[in-house]
Amino acid sequence: MKFLNKFLNYAIGLSLLVAGVFVYLQMQKSAVTTTSKVPASAEDLANKYLQEANQKLKTDRYKVQNALREVSKNGDTLGAKAVETNPQQVSADRQIAKDIYNESQRQKSVEQKFQEELKSVQERRYQSELEKKEYIKQFKANARKNGYEIVVDDNLQVISIEPIRKPTSDVDPTALESNEY
């Protein structure tokens, strides 16, 4: 029994030591890779910022949808919540609305709930595509203001960046040399 206890203590200590070394090596490896991932060109930098902005949009949209889902799940409006500890304190209209909502949820079949969820997913995808297109349009407009023409694919990857050539003037350069203007 004493031998087994000693063996388990050594095994636990050795596994903790191995885990510590593994974590240390992973931290060293990630430190090296993060410093070596410097964008090589303007396209890489633009891709990086486009993807970060797109991820932020998705995260914000997800948070809003979850908040709205919670509000609709509780049957509440976006206003302040009523304290429902005493039924006499809650208005009759609110009680009736809550009862109707709960009854309608019970009566829905599985297929109806599935169809509603499918419709909701399709609407979110459509909204996401619209937001993505608008974001690309604004990104291109900003780049054009700064003198660049950018081509972006559907995955928000910058395909090419070219400076826009500005006309120098309306005067013919040969006319300046011969003083004929």
Instruction: Provide the residue type at 112 as one letter.
Output: Q
pLDDT at 82: 47
Out of 7-11, 93-97, 153-157, 167-171, pick the least confident. Answer: 167-171
Q: What are the extents of the domains in the chain?
A: 1-37, 38-166
Q: Which has the higher per-residue pLDDT, 81 or 56?
A: 56
Cβ neighbours of 181 (radius 10 Å): 7
- Tokens representing 21 are 């070394």
Q: What is the pLDDT of residues 98-130, one digit of tens each?
A: 777 777 666 667 777 778 888 989 999 999 888
Place of tokens 């090596």: 25
Q: What is residue 57's three-state secondary structure?
A: helix
pLDDT at 60: 83
Q: What is the pLDDT of residues 42-65, one digit of tens each?
A: 777 778 888 888 888 888 888 888
Q: Answer whether 132's CB lies under 8 Å from 22's CB.
A: no
Percentage of the chain lying above the pLDDT 90 cut? 3
